[in-house]
Amino acid sequence: MNILESSDFKNKVILVTGGAGFIGSHLIDKLLQLGAKVRCLDNFSTGKFENIQDFESNSNFQLIEGDIRNYDICLEATQGCDWVSHQAALGSVPRSIKDPLTTHAVNITGFLNIIEASRIAEIKNFVYAASSSTYGNSQALPKIESEIGEPLSPYALTKLVNENYASVYKKTYDFNSIGLRYFNVFGPKQDINGAYAAVIPKFVEALLNHKSPTINGDGSFSRDYTFIENVVQANLLALTSTSDCVLNETYNVACAEQTSLIELLNLLKHRLINYDDKVIDLQPNFGPEREGDVPHSLASITKARNLLAYNPEYNLESGLDLTVDWYVKNLKS
């Protein structure tokens, strides 16, 4: 099935929690293009109105400003919906270490509120954002969905609890869901500001300002960087899944490519020299390793390919081409 031409979304009422965030706003954009009626639930604690302001004129878009920690808001938001895409969360391992109580409240209590409200509303498809952090201290590569270790941070624990709740809701209430374990998502509109900004926008900002990027550790730590359009594709496939063999599973959403921080920095520099040749001479500063960081991450996407029909259209380099171009156009002052 070509999901971009599918009629499955036409006139479906879909709730996207965290819709003003980076991933949520990209997903809403695609859902509206496909003819869906989209509700966005966001409290703007990390999401930004500018991410969704272009949707305001679309009659198929509705904004509900509210917090998933409020169960009544979740009941209101899910009422009359067909499907739910739960993207709202407090991300960041360092933030969770600094403030585990808020991370727990949003990521666990908030998740329970929205899945229970979805059950009450008889939501047909419930898709939620899981995380590669669930693999914890497992050193096996590539990461396979069935083989996880012990969580290394409060954030990782909250995402594992989400998966456990989803499993319990199937066993107890016969409520179906799909969890998508994201691996280091990047792309246009990703927040460049704040202490918990992701590594790619932080590197780009530093380079464009002729500052040396800071690398935590010696630069050998590696990740499976995943372009946002691949993540949107996985969500669309999950939302439209009806087969028993596909539902009530978790899937890695990644590119199955391993890239170290040093390699990533060099890839960015070689793209940015097309706009500013001074960046090539900038060398990184090396800082201490971050507490709770997993040294290496590489996903197996075999399960997602075989069951979800997930097929990432962008690898790291093609995704970086589009991302760097967007940041240059939107950050140059």
Which residue of the set 135, 155, 182, 251 is catalytic? 155
Residue 223 belongs to what H/E stretch?
A: strand 222-223
Token reading at 31:
């859902």
Is residue 71 part of the annotated active site? The answer reads: no
Kindly give, in sequence order, each residue whose CB lies less than 8 Å from that of residue 62, ignoring residues fewer than 6 positions away.
37, 38, 39, 40
Q: Decide: residue 191, CB within 10 A, 0-12 exposed, 13-18 middle, 19+ buried.
A: middle
Q: How many CB atoms within 10 Å of residue 68? A: 26
| Cα 137 to chain centroid, rounded | 21
Sign of the CA dihedral 137, 138, 139, 145? negative
For 54-118, list the strands marked E by DSSP.
61-65, 83-86
Q: What is the dihedral of CA 30, 183, 225, 32, to 10 degrees?
A: 0
CA separation (Å) from 261 to 135, 256, 257, 280? Answer: 20, 16, 13, 16
d(C-alpha 196, C-alpha 148), whole Å: 25
Give me the DSSP letters along 22-57: HHHHHHHHHHHHTT-EEEEEE--SS--GGGTGGGTT
Please identify every residue annotated as catalytic: 155
